[in-house]
Amino acid sequence: MLAQEMIDAMSKRGLRVTDQRRTLARLFAEAPGYLSAKDVYDEMGKTYGGLSFDTVYRNLRVLQEMDVLEQFVFEDGVKFKAHCREHGHHHHAICLHCEKTYAVPFCPLDIQVELPQGFSVVKHKFELFGYCEACGPQAEAGGAGR
């Protein structure tokens, strides 16, 4: 997702588009991979001296709830990435070495899943972690995982 698309999405959803949020959009649009809240805080702190970690984290959560950013849980913590361009319900396969992300149209909830009586699913996440063809087994053998 391009920075301007992220800014337009914020504006359409009624979120005030501040200089900090414009910078945040550019940061994610230009990031080659995933960013943690600390990554964002460290990078934005170079420009905005009085920035608090709470402000960064709150903005990440708001943008994630608005589907501007996607949240992923890696072994070393929660990270964010600009929402992919894939439309419709889908999941992801993520390379642990290069962080390339592939859309996966399969959903495990498409098959019959036994849930407790009265349980209503409102959202779910399903990611596959491994190594892409380019990184292959040598990445796993080299301990490059997260």
92 assigned to a ligand binding site: no
107 is in an annotated binding site: no
* H-run or E-run covering 140: helix 136-141
Answer whether 94's CB lies under 8 Å from 101's CB.
Answer: yes
Q: Is 84 annotated as a binding residue?
A: no
Burial class (CB in 10 A: 0-12, 13-18, 19+), 121: exposed
132 labeled binding residue: yes
User: Is 89 labeled as ligand-binding?
Assistant: yes
* Rounded Cα–Cα distance for residues 85 and 109 (Å): 22
Integer Cα distance of 82 and 120 in angstroms: 28
CA R_g for the chain: 17
C-beta separation of 80 from 64 below 8 A: yes
Structure tokens belonging to residue 141: 């053998």
Q: Is 95 annotated as contributing to ligand binding?
A: yes
Binding residues for Fe cation, by number, are: 89, 124
Binding residues for Zn(2+), by number, are: 95, 98, 132, 135
Binding residues, by number, are: 89, 95, 98, 124, 132, 135
